[in-house]
Amino acid sequence: MRTDQKPGVLAESRLEQLIGEMSDRFGWDESLAGVRPVRDWESRTAILYKLEAGPGSQPVVLKVGKDWTAEKAKEVYDDLRSLEDLFEGNAKVTMKLPKVRGWSESPASVCFDFIEGEDFSQRLSRRAGYLSAEVERAMAECGAAIGLFHSAGLDAAAAAADMDEMKRRLVVMGRKVLVDPSVIQPMDLTGKISRKYGDFAPYNIRLTDDGRVFVLDQPSSHAYAPIHRDVAYFLYRVERRLGRYEPDNPEEKRATQAHLEKVFLQAYAGTGPSSLDSPQDETLFAIYLSHKNLRTARKRFNQRRFKEVPGYLRLSAGWRRRVNRPGRPPG
């Protein structure tokens, strides 16, 4: 535990009290009695605490939302339980979730089992990791899991109501990546709009020593989007981590990336609502991937250390001209 109690970090006595309240409310087994905080860390939206009763006990994580209401905590708990039931009810999906223990109103929080293992993003960062059979299998499990989530999240009525708005957003994004609006308007998105997962990414995936694959975070959105958005975001994050801490080998990385993408998309096709191999699908992937890369570039241009690079003003001006340039057909 931290000794410099920063704003929002709960005192140890309050953590023990909160866990005791959850234990009574949800009927935890005796092995979780008397858990104590051993460390805490912070994410963008929450402060998380690892707690355990002692050697050999099952550690748990208490996730306290920074701006959560009681309703939000209950929603996160319900989303985790629903996702757990969805995965367990389909033989094609072997990905798991940590066991969800309960939730609390004050402070708004959820509790689930702590999973020992390595973040998928860290495994991808090392050459010895991304060339392994475990990574290929994990990519397949991730593809099957997000495909099943999209299949379960299809809502024709909601999708139809939002179709025009979705195409309007795609036109705006397409202009930034030089895709003419006339390419987007006639697109048929029927059966390809589902609930958006949001933050389905390698850093929220954990690989255990016994070969299991867990997703640690719940869907972060109740909005709808083309299914390409979640897929493109996951593959973008894979590409960003691939071999990050190893000497550069561009040809090997490109070949590995293409192979891992193929494994992911094949698994997705087995559980998802639609295959993603048409020219329209490729256009949508290009829009989402390019848009994400441009947003990353914009952040870098705004960093102080980047502004010290010789030629920054010329590079920045050229990039801004490209982003604001009217759309034109690709190719």
φ/ψ region of 54 (left if φ > 0, alpha if ψ in -120 to 50, else beta) reads left
Report d(CA 80, CA 156) in Å as an integer: 24
Ranges 117-131, 235-249, 272-286, 301-315: which has the least confidence:
301-315
Burial 218-242 (b: 16+ CB within 10 A, else e): bbeeeebbbbbbbbbbbbbbbbbbb
What residue type is 35 in one-letter code? Answer: V
pTM of the model: 0.82
Per-residue pLDDT of 181-195, as tens digits, reads 777 777 788 888 888
Is-contact 226 103, C-beta < 8 A? no
pLDDT, tens only, 259-277: 999 999 999 999 999 888 8
Q: Is the pLDDT of residue 86 over 90?
A: yes
Cβ pair 235, 143 in contact under 8 A: no
- Which residues partner with 100 through β-bridges? 112
Q: What is the pLDDT of residues 22-63, one digit of tens each?
A: 888 887 776 676 677 777 788 888 889 988 877 777 889 999
pLDDT band at 144 (very low <50, low <70, confident <90, very high): very high
Does 158 score more than 70 pLDDT? no
Is 60 exceeded by the pLDDT of residue 317? no
Q: What does pLDDT average to over the chain?
A: 80
Could you give the domains of the chain?
A: 12-113 (3.30.200.20), 118-324 (3.90.1200)
Instruction: Please give the average per-residue pLDDT across 99-107, as a whole number.
Output: 90
> What pLDDT does 23 receive?
82
- Classify the C-alpha dihedral 170-171-173-177 as positive or negative: positive
